């Protein structure tokens, strides 16, 4: 069947505009003016984006299955204590789906590329909020429960989510002229919410001693999640291994593929740890922690969805009337 499909010819880095260039990736580029059909067909053709798409598209269905299981089998809508888990699982479904769609359709045009990744960034910032919501509900060590930091934790996380989307979207505009500066902005945009969200977890598993430290069987899963999260950030920031051998990892094994795999595995262990904490700590948290309400779980997630969509719209509108990444003119002909 696939032999009857006419695939587009893949291109090298010198054959596509600068806005489509990936650091140390030399070949495997799709045509920069692909149609939507061409983009979908490229899912079944080996390019430098194929595994980026599949490594996030397939896990989306796994997290969706977990979400349906929680909603149907645990009667989540009748039990407020499970609402943070539902918010977190929804964010776990959205961010890999948005990422796979962004990678799929990013070669329709330069404008489409930017807008696709605006949605990708918004989904990632929503995932950081989902993590904060579930951490506030289940992860805080006993001695920090109901503290001032606990009470202000969710409002600060909402601010971080909006700031993350804003800064990450802005980072695409100076990308052509200053790619390193753009990369630094993007790393900061995602690293800061991650570090803030994990403050209670880092304290619980690394620093806390004595009573009220909440040592239980979920901690080993938290260690796995933290290790994979740090590895994910390292791969995203360093572009290893392709930076060591440009052109050798164009199709299989480059950092973005490894980054996707580590992110999904980390989310999987994070989800398992959350479920264990939720079950093991429920009696104590029900009596002693901040009550879980619609406002501090589902409500804040809906607010952040609306705010992220507004930010994406504000950044997308200028792209409709201005050049995205003007190429420098040279007196000599093309190489």
- Tell me how crowded residue 255 is: count the other CB atoms within 10 A of its CB: 23
Which DSSP state fits 297? I
Question: What pLDDT was estimated at residue 327?
Answer: 52
CA quadruple 254, 256, 262, 264: dihedral, nearest 10: -130
Q: Counting beta carbons within 10 angstroms of the beta carbon of residue 36, is it exposed (0 to 12), middle (13 to 18) or buried (19 or more)?
A: exposed
Question: What pLDDT was estimated at residue 209?
Answer: 86
Question: What pLDDT was estimated at residue 45?
Answer: 95
Give the tens place of pLDDT for each residue, 90-125.
999 999 999 999 999 999 999 999 999 999 999 999
The model's pTM:
0.93
Q: What is the DSSP secondary-structure string of 83-112?
A: HHHHHHHHHHHHHHHHHHHHHHHTTS-HHH
Question: What pLDDT was estimated at residue 2?
Answer: 52
Rounded distance between C-alpha atoms, residue 217 and residue 214, angstroms:
10
Q: Which regions in the chain score pLDDT beneath 50? A: 1, 329-335
Residues 191 and 233: beta-carbon distance below 8 Å: yes
Question: What pLDDT was estimated at residue 212?
Answer: 85
Ordered alpha helix ranges (H), the chain: 36-41, 50-73, 83-105, 110-138, 148-170, 179-197, 199-202, 219-238, 255-288, 300-316
Rg (CA), the chain: 21
Question: What pLDDT was estimated at residue 331?
Answer: 39
Domains of the chain: 33-320 (1.20.1070)
Give the tens place of pLDDT for each residue, 48-68.
999 999 999 999 999 999 999
């Amino acid at each position: 069947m696939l032999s009857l499909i006419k695939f587009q010819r893949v291109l090298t880095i010198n054959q596509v505009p600068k806005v489509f260039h990936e650091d140390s990736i030399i070949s495997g580029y799709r045509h920069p003016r692909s149609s939507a059909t061409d983009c979908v067909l490229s899912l079944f053709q080996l390019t430098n984006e194929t595994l980026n798409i599949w490594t996030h598209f397939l896990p989306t269905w796994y997290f969706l299955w977990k979400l349906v299981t929680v909603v149907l089998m645990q009667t989540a809508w009748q039990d407020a204590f499970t609402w943070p888990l539902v918010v977190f699982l929804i964010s776990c479904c959205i961010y890999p789906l948005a990422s796979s769609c962004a990678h799929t359709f990013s070669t329709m045009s330069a404008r489409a590329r930017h807008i696709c990744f605006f949605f990708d960034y918004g989904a990632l910032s929503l995932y950081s909020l989902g993590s904060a919501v579930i951490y506030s509900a289940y992860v805080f060590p006993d001695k920090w429960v109901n503290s001032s930091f606990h009470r202000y934790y969710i409002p600060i996380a909402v601010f971080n989510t909006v700031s993350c989307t804003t800064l990450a979207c802005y980072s695409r505009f100076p990308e052509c002229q200053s790619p390193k500066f753009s990369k630094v902005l993007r790393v900061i945009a995602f690293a800061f919410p991650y570090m803030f969200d994990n403050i209670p977890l880092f304290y619980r598993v690394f620093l806390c001693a004595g009573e009220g430290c909440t040592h239980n069987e979920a901690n080993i899963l938290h260690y796995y999640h933290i290790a994979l999260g740090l590895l994910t950030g390292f791969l995203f920031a360093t572009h290893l291994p392709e930076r060591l051998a440009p052109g050798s990892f164009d199709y299989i094994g480059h950092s973005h593929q490894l980054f996707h795999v580590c992110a999904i595995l980390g989310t999987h262990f994070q989800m398992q740890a959350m479920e264990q904490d939720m079950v093991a700590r429920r009696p104590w948290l029900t009596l002693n922690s901040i009550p879980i309400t619609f406002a501090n779980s589902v409500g804040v997630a809906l607010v952040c969805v609306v705010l992220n969509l507004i930010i994406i719209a504000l950044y997308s509108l200028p792209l409709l009337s201005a050049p995205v990444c003007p190429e420098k003119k040279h007196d000599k002909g093309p190489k």
